Structure formats: structure tokens, C-alpha cells
């Protein structure tokens, strides 16, 4: 079993919640169902599972009255061999986007408070106009991702104590032993290629074969295409697919801002904006928005029409480039703008899985670009990403102009400090 951080989050919710259901959102096949099932079976006397995608008849449970007692009755009618243990039962509603009435019912189940309820799914298919009401105040939402880099390290057998020691070097801004640094850079390149999708990680652990992992990634991408067919309108399917498949080309540009014309010659916001929003709702991509000035609070200075698009799993992204590119990443022989864009997405992957939602900064004169900015203690912290060693003119100018308390330069090197500029190996993004 892959160790996942979200398990401890679920335990915390169980122990501290008050008349509150939990909705776990995220892309398909990131391990939502598996970890919630494990949590339910280990921590409750009774565990009851409904999947609205696999068993469409379960939707009938939520037709008519949504009073809690009526729902419990109908669950006992449609699901065999179950029992309700008061204050010791977990109800798990999987693929809840297939049954909007079940989402509405979360309010009444939370108010009843006899049994714990977790729902999971993506926003796909959840159209608010189809719902009687949204369970505001009775539903906590949580976003889940594929394995982050630290979870990947656990999976491949890295000792948690060794990772804890690395964290001390990060906090103390001290140079890491060269041999240790090489080991973790090699592990980071593996993460670039394998990524965090549980099925891919398990395939890699079982076979020790990068090509087998790549074949599993292709299978997952095919299942995503099936999701597009299932949820999207016929008119939108090709546009959604084209937007997603354009990401490797978007990231191979010198300036990785998303451009609709890269999707197609006739590309513009009117034609593709809804398709891009579909991918965001599916949890397959995230947007990183430019700001007009790097000042706190960053959201006040966002420029919504200028953004970058990053895949939410780095392994699925690199699979879109093909196995030969993955092999070059592992050997560290890839060169050119494509490599820089891939490493940008890698750091974005690591930041969002830490709960950091970054912006980026490109000034009006196009003379300065900082890959990522995030807010901390009322200050704006810049992060520059270098896939290799090199000068950081933009970051140096940013420090001189805006005087942040400190700034990160992430490189394929070691720890170093120069004034407020802190150079860190790329893998230390997992601690930011």
C-alpha cells in the first residue's frame, strides 16, 4: 500500500468535525477511492460504499425525499449486507458528480449527524442549476492530487529519517553532502518520468521498468480521453483534447504563457476558453496567473487573461513528449526550452501539492520574468527555476527592485546563500 499524507488529514477530520460532511475532489485515478476505502475499513465498525458511476441504480436512493432517515432506508434497500452502527459508520459516496441530488443531500446527512459521510469526485457533471441547493456550511471540500515527491520517495524506499535530515539542511540553508545531493537529484529525475499516479508508481515498483511505467501512463491518458467522451458535449470533445495536448508545445516556448494560437491556427479565447475551464474542473490542469505588480495580496493584482497552464501530474506531462524524451530526462541529456518548461511544471507540481498556489510575474516591458511568486507572512517570495546552473538576471533585478525578505533560486546544484538569494537544489521545492 502506498503511504499517502491525506490519510492523516482524514483522521483529523473524523476527530474534529461537527455536523460536517467531507467532499474530496481531484482528477480521476489519483487514488481517492483506495485511500478513503482503507480509511473507512480501518476506522469504523461499519463501512458502506456507493458508486454512482459503476452502479447508476444508486441514484434512485436520492430521488424524492432527501430526509436523512429516508436515505438510510433506501440505502438498505439498494445495498446488500450492510449495517448501520450509530456514530461508528462511514458512508462513502464515490463519483458524486454523477448524482447531483446526493451532493444536495449532504446537508441533511450532516444535520442528522448519526453517521460520517465522505463524498469524492471531480466537478465534472456537477451543474449547480441541477441542484436544489448546495450544502454550504455542512460540507468541507478538500482537493487531492497524485503522489507528491515526498510520497514518491517513501514509495521507492527512501528512509523518512533521511528526508527529515534534508529538511534540516533546507531550514538551516546548509550545503548537502555531494553524494546525498546526487542521490536525491537522481530520484527527482525518476519522479519527472514516473510521476505520482498510483497505478504508474505501482507498475514501476513491481517491474523496475520505465517503459512499463510509460505504457501505464498511456493507458491512463486513454481513460482520460474516455472521460472527455463521457462528460463533454460532442462539440467540445476535440477542443478539450486539443487544449490538453498543446501543453507540451506551450511549455517548449521561451515564454511559457498559454496562447490559444498554439492550440490551433484559429485559436482564441472565445473558441477554447470553455475547454480549458473543463480541464481545470477535471483536475487535469491548473492555471498560474500573472500579476501586474508583485505586491501583497497577490490576488488583488492578478491579470486573468495572462496565465500559464500546467499539468497536475508531472509524469503524465512527460509521457506526452514520448518515451525518448523521458529517457533523455533520466539521463539528464535533454537540452533546449522544452527542458526548462518541463522543470517549471515539475516545481509547480511540487508547490501545489504543498498547498502553495503560486502566481508568476512578467513585467510590461517583457524584460523580467519570475517563474513563481507566493505570499508568506504578508510578503511576496519569488522562486526562479533553473533546469541547470546559470545566471539569474531576472531574480537579481527583482531583489534589487522589490526587496523581498528572501528569494529562492532552484537549480540542479547544491545549497548556497548570497544576501537574500537562497540557492537550493530543485528537489527542495518539496519543503517550500
Using one digit for the tens of pLDDT, what is the confidence trace for 170-228?
Answer: 999 999 999 999 999 999 999 999 999 999 999 999 999 999 999 999 999 999 999 89
Output the pTM of the full model.
0.94
Pairing of strands 421-425, 416-418: antiparallel
Percent of the chain surpassing pLDDT 90: 88
Average pLDDT over residues 40-52: 98
Cα distances from 218 to residues 23, 198, 214, 412, in angstroms, run: 29, 14, 6, 29
Specify the pLDDT at position 291.
98
Distances (CA, A) of 38 to 2, 11, 34, 339: 11, 12, 6, 38
- Say how far apart CA 384 and CA 79 lie, in whole Å: 53
Span 10-25, pLDDT tens digits: 999 999 998 999 999 9
Per DSSP, the three-state class of 223 is helix
The phi and psi torsions of 208 (rounded to 5 degrees) equal 55, 40
- Does the structure show a pLDDT above 90 at 125? no
Mean pLDDT to the nearest integer, 60-81 = 96
Report the distance separating Cα 257 and Cα 243, nearest Å.
Answer: 14
Query: What distance in Å separates the CA atoms of residue 148 and residue 136, rounded to the nearest whole number?
Result: 30
Mean pLDDT on 53-72: 96
pLDDT score recorded for residue 128: 38
In percent, the amount of the chain with pLDDT more than 70 equals 97
Give mean pLDDT, residues 241-269: 94
pLDDT exceeds cutoff 50 at 127? no
The string of pLDDT tens digits covering residues 401-426 is: 999 999 999 999 999 999 999 999 99
Residue 262: pLDDT band (50, 70, 90) is very high
Q: Are 67 and 114 in contact (CB under 8 A)?
A: no
What confidence tens digit (pLDDT) does each residue in 350-362 have? 999 999 999 999 9
Check residue 39 and give its pLDDT. 98
Residue with cell 491548473: 286
pLDDT tops 60 at residue 387 = yes
Task: Judge whether residue 129 has pLDDT over 50.
Answer: no
CA–CA distance, 129 with 174 (Å, rounded to integer): 55
Report the 10 Å Cβ neighbour count for 255: 12
95 confidence band (pLDDT: 50, 70, 90) = very high
Q: Flag whether pLDDT at 306 surpasses 80.
A: yes
Angstrom distance (rounded) from CA 16 to CA 167: 29
* Residue 270 exposure: Cα atoms within 13 Å on the Cβ side: 1
**Burial level of 192, CB count in 10 A (0-12/13-18/19+)?**
buried
Confidence of residue 131 (pLDDT cuts 50, 70, 90): low
Is beta strand 302-311 parallel, antiparallel or unpaired with respect to 285-291?
Answer: antiparallel
Residue 56 confidence (pLDDT) above 70: yes
Domain extent listing, the chain: 6-143, 149-431
Q: How confident is the model at residue 135 (pLDDT cuts 50, 70, 90)?
A: confident
- Positions of E strands within 43-172: 46-51, 89-94, 116-121, 139-143
CATH fold of 6-143 reads Rossmann fold (3.40.50)
Which bin fits 15, alpha (ψ -120 to 50), beta or left (φ > 0)? alpha
Amino acid at each position: 500500500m502506498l503511504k499517502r499524507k491525506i490519510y492523516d488529514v482524514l483522521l483529523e477530520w473524523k476527530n474534529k468535525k461537527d455536523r460536517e460532511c467531507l467532499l474530496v475532489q481531484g482528477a480521476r485515478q489519483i487514488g481517492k477511492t483506495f485511500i478513503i476505502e482503507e480509511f473507512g475499513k480501518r476506522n469504523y465498525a461499519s463501512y458502506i460504499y456507493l458508486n454512482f458511476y459503476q452502479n447508476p441504480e444508486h441514484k434512485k436512493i436520492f430521488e424524492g425525499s432527501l430526509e436523512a432517515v429516508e436515505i438510510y432506508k433506501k440505502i438498505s434497500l439498494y445495498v446488500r449486507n450492510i449495517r448501520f452502527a450509530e456514530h461508528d459508520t462511514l458512508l462513502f459516496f464515490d463519483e458524486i458528480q454523477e448524482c447531483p441530488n446526493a451532493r444536495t443531500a449532504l446537508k441533511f446527512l450532516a444535520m442528522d449527524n448519526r453517521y460520517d459521510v465522505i463524498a469524492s469526485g471531480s466537478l465534472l457533471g456537477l451543474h449547480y442549476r441541477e441542484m436544489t441547493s448546495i450544502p454550504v456550511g455542512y460540507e468541507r471540500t478538500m482537493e487531492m492530487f497524485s503522489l507528491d515527491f515526498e510520497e514518491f520517495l517513501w514509495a521507492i524506499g527512501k528512509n523518512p529519517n533521511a528526508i527529515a535530515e534534508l529538511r534540516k539542511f533546507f531550514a538551516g540553508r546548509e550545503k548537502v553532502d555531494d553524494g546525498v545531493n546526487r542521490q536525491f537529484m537522481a530520484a527527482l529525475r525518476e519522479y519527472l518520468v514516473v510521476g505520482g499516479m498510483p497505478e504508474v508508481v505501482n507498475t514501476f515498483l513491481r517491474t523496475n521498468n520505465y517503459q512499463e511505467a510509460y505504457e501505464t501512463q498511456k493507458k491512463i491518458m486513454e481513460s482520460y480521453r474516455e472521460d472527455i467522451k463521457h462528460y463533454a458535449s460532442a462539440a467540445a470533445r476535440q477542443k478539450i483534447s486539443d487544449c490538453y495536448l498543446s501543453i507540451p508545445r506551450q511549455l517548449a516556448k521561451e515564454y511559457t504563457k498559454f496562447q490559444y494560437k498554439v492550440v490551433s491556427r484559429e485559436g482564441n479565447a472565445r473558441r477554447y476558453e470553455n475547454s480549458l475551464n473543463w480541464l481545470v474542473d477535471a483536475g487535469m490542469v491548473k492555471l498560474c496567473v500573472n500579476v501586474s505588480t508583485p505586491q501583497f495580496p497577490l490576488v488583488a493584482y492578478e491579470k486573468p487573461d495572462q496565465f500559464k497552464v500546467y499539468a497536475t501530474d508531472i509524469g503524465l506531462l512527460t509521457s506526452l513528449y514520448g518515451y525518448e524524451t523521458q529517457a533523455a530526462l533520466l539521463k539528464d541529456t535533454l537540452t533546449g526550452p522544452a527542458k526548462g518548461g518541463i522543470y517549471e511544471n515539475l516545481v509547480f507540481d511540487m508547490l501545489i501539492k504543498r498547498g502553495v498556489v503560486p502566481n508568476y510575474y512578467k513585467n510590461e516591458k517583457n524584460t523580467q520574468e519570475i517563474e513563481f511568486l507566493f505570499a508568506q507572512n504578508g510578503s511576496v517570495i519569488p522562486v526562479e527555476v533553473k533546469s541547470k546552473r546559470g545566471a539569474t538576471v531576472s531574480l537579481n533585478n527583482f531583489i534589487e527592485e522589490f526587496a523581498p525578505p528572501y528569494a529562492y533560486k532552484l537549480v540542479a546544484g547544491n545549497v548556497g546563500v548570497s544576501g537574500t538569494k537562497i540557492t537550493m537544489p530543485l528537489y527542495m521545492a518539496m519543503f517550500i
